[in-house]
Structure 1
């Protein structure tokens, strides 16, 4: 039987590997044989996942093009997971801070664009195809109160997914997005953990609960794998049915 989830000898870059979803993705890919490169803003922040899993760490500022170019120009890759993300501040549009907006866009949209730009070059040069998975959000699919910057950044990421799928398809490079619901990470707990927010939100979700990191990592691995060899340009909700309302 063919093992479609065998990533042996396949180097896969995971940005935001210092975060909860990123680290879960690193662990799962490592379990399936991938040569994982865990990327994050500093060696110190990457140390826990690198020490735990034994994968390679790669520190760079993904909002700085010169650093992305330096890190990726000579890095052979089969796959990329653009998982780095910044939540920003949840609040009314009329009170939004433009500096926060710019920071969220710099990481969530511009950073993923730069990583994809330079990773695609080496993947095309290698001529072996590959797969890129962008970690988007349900906020790109439906409007969430107070999420102007975050929603805009993830909607931009979904659009980049479709364009990249169109342009890279002839090189046998697939590009897809996953659009998770809330995962109760430290970044999200301060808002989504409040009963007045959590209770009415989950009441509208068919499955009625938040997702776990592992429930996001598994579809990411699927889209990277040969089991998804005919899937590209897709934005896949992982949201317990929330956006199906």
Structure 2
């Protein structure tokens, strides 16, 4: 028996070319959803589609407000949305630059506002009781060295999530965020290969390990499903207890 079924549901997943976003798109596809996968990198999308031909793909840089708006408007109506696209530029607070601040907030916050506005408006017009999940981070809740801009962007995303939940709730649209710790994507395995850096972070996680992509995917699928029908406006840590310490 299927635990989750999204048969007949149309779902947009951003940042779906690789890592967590790809994992989310594939798992929702397996559960019967009609997936539109969005990414900036065409080659990643083509690799995804070659493996899962029924997944539709769209390449656009979400930091470009107008191009993104045009692209999303053309895609029609969705039953659910996962805002996963993000960038992380790590640099010390004292040398954080204006350009990196703008780039980070354009992708991590402004693009979520932009895409969600269009998707939510169409949900309302079509009386769809939809679900939106924003992928945030433990960095929104706890200070991490050299993450000043990234942490600020994810804290802003959490606040945006709560505001969206408040205003979209009366239309039957739920909005939540997932706040993961370090997740072992291919990129993270390279970034956390330094044993001392890795040891320091692991010492702050009660479960004593980093997360797997599937563990974030499982939480996203739950929050998109009817099994979380009374849950909205929450920030759900998937962090092995990092934020509990």
TM-score, normalising length from structure 1?
A: 0.95
Instruction: Answer yes or no: is the 8 Å Cα contact 2:138–2:179 preserved in 1.
Output: yes
SS at match of 2:114: helix
Change (3 A) 1:191 1:43: closer
- 1:190-229 matches, cutoff 5 A: 190-229=190-229
Root mean square deviation of aligned Cα: 1.5
SS at match of 1:13: strand
- 1:226-237 matches, cutoff 5 A: 226-237=226-237
Instruction: Answer yes or no: is the 8 Å Cα contact 1:14–1:36 preserved in 2.
Output: yes
Q: Which moved more, 1:34-43 or 1:22-31?
A: 34-43
Q: Give 2:113's aligned residue.
A: 113
Deviation at 1:14, TM superposition (A): 0.2
Change (3 A) 1:142 1:189: same
Could you tell me which runs of 5 or more consecutive residues in structure 1 were left unpaired when the two chains were aligned. Answer: none
- 1:26-65 matches, cutoff 5 A: 26-54=25-53, 55-65=55-65
Deviation at 1:111, TM superposition (A): 1.1
The CA distance in 1 between the partners of 2:216 and 2:52, in whole Å, is 19
The CA distance in 2 between the partners of 1:111 and 1:37, in whole Å, is 17
Q: Give 2:84's aligned residue.
A: 83
Q: Give 1:136's aligned residue.
A: 136
Q: Give 1:98's aligned residue.
A: 98
Change (3 A) 1:190 1:147: farther
Q: Give 1:12's aligned residue.
A: 11
Deviation at 1:186, TM superposition (A): 4.3
Deviation at 1:184, TM superposition (A): 2.7
Could you tell me which runs of 5 or more consecutive residues in structure 2 were left unpaired when the two chains were aligned. Answer: none
Deviation at 1:244, TM superposition (A): 0.5
Deviation at 1:192, TM superposition (A): 2.7
Deviation at 1:189, TM superposition (A): 4.0
Deviation at 1:183, TM superposition (A): 1.2
The CA distance in 2 between the partners of 1:98 and 1:69, in whole Å, is 25
Change (3 A) 1:91 1:64: closer
2:112 maps to 1:149: no
Change (3 A) 1:66 1:52: same
The CA distance in 2 between the partners of 1:104 and 1:65, in whole Å, is 14
The CA distance in 2 between the partners of 1:219 and 1:66, in whole Å, is 31
Deviation at 1:59, TM superposition (A): 1.7
Q: Which moved more, 1:232-241 or 1:204-213?
A: 204-213
Q: Give 1:122's aligned residue.
A: 122
Deviation at 1:12, TM superposition (A): 0.4
Deviation at 1:190, TM superposition (A): 4.7
Total equivalences in the alignment: 243
Q: Give 2:170's aligned residue.
A: 170
